[in-house]
Structure 1
Amino acid sequence: MVKKRSVFDINFEETDGSDAERFPAGNPELEKKSFNVQGHPLQNEAAPSRRGPMASAITEAADATSERVSAEAAIRAENDALAHEHVRLKKLGLITDLIETSSVVITKLTRDRSANTDPELQELKDSIQAIGLSNPIRVEQTGTGFELIQGYRRLAAFRELAEETGDARYTKIPAALVPRGEPLAALYRKMVDENLVRKDISFGEMAQLALSYAENEDIEPGEAVKVLYASALKQKRRYIRQFTRVLHVLGDALRYPELLPRALGIELFKLFEAEEDRGVQIAAALHAVPDRDGEAEAKILRDALAKPKEQPAPKSVSKTSLRLARPEGEARVIAQNGKVELRLPRDFSAVSREKLQDAIEAFLTSLD
């Protein structure tokens, strides 16, 4: 008898193999989302791909570089604009700064202010101490400092205040910077035009400046007056030209040209025009008094102009009359003190000069 085996049928459910694929990594497949929601902005579009960290870093670096380049360009453009504006303001003399008074030199321009003591400088110093300096000086920047263009008295006031008070505030002065390379004539005009509005500048100081400018530029003093004082009235320019003549004649003998009154200067001009040699005499008279002040100098000039009164000729108390018969007719001779008069109907202008001179000399010799 054959023993039968029991057979059990085991039915396994068929799988899609997903579990086997997931094992052993165990990382489930990324879920894919569909965007088929009605009205969704990504409808019918594929899901965005995921970016790695390196790609993100590169993108961010590129964006940062682009932003930096744009910022640098904007800064350069702003700096260029500021530089152009600085140049424009400097040309207009509107750039002002505090500069050391010791760094300002006075060599480029001859000043139209006298080097003698300025009696009104104390008033300016008092004003600066009370309210400060309202009008900056004007300077041109050099390689080592600054060259003074305008403001000689203001600079002098600050320097004296610093020395007298010891206050460090007066060692620096407000200054407007002018551009370099401006023509010399233009710089002189700026200085002159500023001082023309001042009532205390004298014709002697203006004439001295014209003479210095004429010497530097190798031109005539009259042309220098025309260039420097083009803004002045015609009458004032004429006075300045007359004073240049006086200063030129007297030279260094005139020590206080700024104190020379207008009327006295004009009288001296007329005198030198009429008698050129008088200038040498007056200069010698000035040199003869070396320790003089301005008042004494003016007195010497006035004394030189004063002429002694001419003494009238004494009246003759006697007179001799003669009548002589001549072929030309009757000659009448009248002789008195200092005078002999001959009247004869003859044209003495027809006699030659030599013959007339010989006859008169013979006449005078015979009288002796």
Structure 2
Amino acid sequence: MRTQTQTTDKTPDKPAYRILRPRELPLDQIHSSDLPRDRLNLKGQEGSEEMEELKASLRLRGQRTPVTVCRDAQDCYQLVSGWRRLTALQQLAQEQGEAAPMITARLTGLKEARIELYIDMVESNLLHKALSFGEMAQLALTAAADPELQELGVEEVVSRLYGSLHKMKRSYIRSFIHLLQVLGDTVQYPERISRNQGVAVSRRLKNAPETAEDLRDNLRVCDSGSMQGAVFAQYLLSFREASAKSTAKERQFKVGNTHITGRVGECVIRADVDFSSLRTEVLSRALRAFERIVQAG
């Protein structure tokens, strides 16, 4: 139950509670074409073992938890939250040949803010079944692209949708958002990306954006979540291998009392000399001579 604050010139702030009383509605009047679903791979869930378990529960005990609906611009009922319950009841009605099936639903206010509908959907799934970070990130991007919410921006949408989550989880969601923004639709199974892998890939993409195109090419051929995970794993491994090679390419030697350490793109000179006290012209001549000899081989 969410509290809201109403302010007038004459009265102090008072909490107003949204009380959505259940009602019986014809099942075939509930549509799910308005809001995008926060759950991905809906087709896969329609015939899943979890769906069969939900249907078995509905057969034995009936519908105990109402779905939430709203009215759209055409005055039709649109689903806000409860996609699994709606789908299970639709399947049961078809299997049992029920002529006029009904569904228990709560109707939101007629002028409910668009963002509130998204929040209702998210909170329902966060309470009943955890969303993956990929699903949460994808929904935030979809909501931010909603014509009625575009002015909010992705950052504000994340804060609104997932305000009840710990700030660290919101940080993970933002990492996944960056990953999806960079890689686009080449990520075919965002719900299958683990938290640690997704955050690590996102960090690498931020630090090495030039690697994104090759990663997109490799992701395009993935035909399963496990193959996608293997591509991400190889991508992260390539950075560790490059780092190991860079560390391995090191040479140390001594010239007189001067110690030299040579690495890829780096030469460290340690000597009992206060280099900061030397005149710039002296150091410049020394470095030019050094460059000439190194380039000449």
Regarding TM over 0.5, the answer is yes
Distance, in Å, in 1 between the alignment partners of 2:294 and 2:170 is: 55
Query: Which of residues 16, 26, 38 is equivalent to 1:112?
Result: 38
Q: Secondary structure at the match of 1:173?
A: strand
Who is 2:224 aligned against? Answer: 293
Q: Secondary structure at the match of 1:133?
A: coil
Distance, in Å, in 1 between the alignment partners of 2:30 and 2:195 is: 34
- Give matches, 1:1-368, under 5 Å: 92-101=19-28, 103-116=29-42, 117-118=44-45, 119=48, 120-142=50-72, 143=74, 145-163=76-94, 165-168=95-98, 171-216=101-146, 217-218=149-150, 219-287=152-220, 289-290=221-222, 292-307=223-238, 308=241, 310-311=244-245, 312-313=248-249, 347=275, 350-351=280-281, 358-367=288-297
> Are the counterparts in 2 of residues 161 and 170 from structure 1 also a CA contact under 8 Å?
no
Q: Percent identity?
A: 27
Q: How many residues align?
A: 262
Query: With CA pairs under 8 Å and 6+ residues apart, which has the higher RCO, 1 or 2?
Result: 2
2:174 aligned partner, one-letter code = R
Distance, in Å, in 2 between the alignment partners of 1:266 and 1:351 is: 48
Q: Secondary structure at the match of 2:209?
A: coil
Distance, in Å, in 1 between the alignment partners of 2:121 and 2:109 is: 15
Q: TM-score, normalised by structure 2?
A: 0.74
1:139 shift after superposition: 1.3
Distance, in Å, in 1 between the alignment partners of 2:80 and 2:289 is: 73
Distance, in Å, in 2 between the alignment partners of 1:107 and 1:349 is: 74
Alpha-carbon RMSD across the aligned residues, in angstroms, is 3.3
1:252 shift after superposition: 0.8
1:93 aligned partner, one-letter code = L
**Structure 2: any 5+ residue segments left out of the alignment?**
1-17
> Are the counterparts in 2 of residues 196 and 232 from structure 1 also a CA contact under 8 Å?
no
1:353 shift after superposition: 8.2
Distance, in Å, in 1 between the alignment partners of 2:106 and 2:195 is: 34
Larger Rg: 1
Q: TM-score, normalised by structure 1?
A: 0.61
**Structure 1: any 5+ residue segments left out of the alignment?**
1-90, 324-331
Distance, in Å, in 2 between the alignment partners of 1:340 and 1:96 is: 76
1:275 shift after superposition: 1.7
Q: Deviations over 1:299-349 (max 9, x none)?
A: 211121113262424878xx796x7xxxxxxxx788999889796968566
The 1:365/1:184 distance shift into structure 2, 3 A limit, reads closer
Distance, in Å, in 2 between the alignment partners of 1:95 and 1:222 is: 34
Distance, in Å, in 2 between the alignment partners of 1:335 and 1:231 is: 55
1:115 shift after superposition: 3.2
> Are the counterparts in 2 of residues 333 and 340 from structure 1 also a CA contact under 8 Å?
no
The 1:174/1:353 distance shift into structure 2, 3 A limit, reads farther
1:282 shift after superposition: 1.7
